[in-house]
Amino acid sequence: MHHTTAHALNRLTDANTLFAEVFKHGSLSLEMYRPQLEDSQQPHERDEVYVVIAGHGVFNNGGNRHDFSVGDFIFVKAGVSHRFEKFSDDFATWVIFYGPMGGEQ
């Protein structure tokens, strides 16, 4: 299976939404996420990985903040409060959920 960034971003635009699931297999879910103005997401029940494809900003991972930019890999453990802050207007990221509810042990 092959999915391009352009295809995933077009799905967001066509659906007029902030995120779209692009691929699913077993516990693996691949999404594209492009928040506008504010990231209001809540903690998730599974482990999660972000791979930044456009833009830059600050990522708050359980109270620990760090700068991010294109190409960065960000891991968030299940149940941890997190969000993108002070991100550029062009910000977009792949989101990868995987594993069991409650996260890997």
pTM, full prediction: 0.91
Note the residue count of the chain. 105
Instruction: Check residues 56 and 2 and name the one with the higher pLDDT.
Output: 56
Query: Which H or E element spans position 22?
Result: strand 19-25
- DSSP per-residue codes, 40-95: -----SSEEEEEEEE-EEEEEETTEEEEEETT-EEEE-TT--EEEES--TT-EEEE
What was the pLDDT predicted at 85? 97
> Residues 11-37: pLDDT tens digits?
888 888 888 899 999 999 999 999 999
The two structure tokens encoding residue 7:
């295809």
Give all strands of the β-sheet with 92-98 in edge-to-edge order.
Answer: 19-25, 28-33, 92-98, 47-54, 73-76
Burial of 48 (0-12, 13-18, 19+ CB in 10 A): buried
Residues 6 or more apart in contact with residue 4 via CB below 8 angstroms: none
Flag whether pLDDT at 1 surpasses 80. no
Q: Are 46 and 78 in contact (CB under 8 A)?
A: yes
At 37-90, the pLDDT tens digits run: 999 999 999 999 999 999 999 999 999 999 999 999 999 999 999 999 999 999
